[in-house]
């Protein structure tokens, strides 16, 4: 299960009203400077997606990405260092500076064991 902050829910509802977008869809892909990266799109859920709704805001997670996003929080930030949706992921051992790429815990743990 994922969590949606109040700020993210408010912004998603505003986007839906302005653009007719049904929600935010999340997935994890290979790439980025830390090994995996988040893919986000303003679209509705697809068959097999895990769907979370908060106050009318819909976030769907690709079925192949559920394990890497389990327990994450979707937030919306509007600040000096950037504006947009952010993923706070307890399954990540580290993230890159831009916040869109991460290394999963299991990879970091496996590397630590081989170097011990």
Question: How confident is the model over 80-89, as pLDDT tens digits?
Answer: 877 899 888 8
Question: How confident is the model over 53-99, as pLDDT tens digits?
Answer: 999 999 999 999 999 899 999 999 988 877 899 888 888 776 665 55
Report how far residue 75's alpha carbon sits from residue 85's, in angstroms, rounded to the nearest whole number: 6
Q: What is the pLDDT of residue 116?
A: 41
Domains parsed from the chain with CATH numbers: 3-115 (2.60.300.12)
Return all residues near 45 (Cβ < 8 A) that are at least 6 apart. 22, 23, 25, 51, 58, 60
- Greater model confidence, 70 or 110: 70
């Amino acid at each position: 299960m994922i969590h949606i902050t109040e700020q993210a829910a408010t912004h998603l509802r505003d986007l839906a009203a302005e653009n007719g977008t049904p929600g935010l869809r999340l997935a994890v892909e290979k790439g980025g400077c830390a090994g995996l990266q988040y893919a986000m799109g303003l679209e509705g859920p697809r068959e097999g997606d895990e769907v979370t709704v908060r106050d009318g805001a819909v976030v769907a997670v690709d079925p192949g990405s559920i394990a890497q996003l389990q327990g994450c929080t979707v937030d919306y930030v509007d600040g000096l260092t950037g504006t947009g949706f952010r993923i706070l992921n307890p399954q990540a051992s580290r993230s890159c500076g831009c916040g869109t790429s991460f290394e999963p815990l299991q990879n970091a743990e496996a590397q630590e064991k081989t170097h011990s």
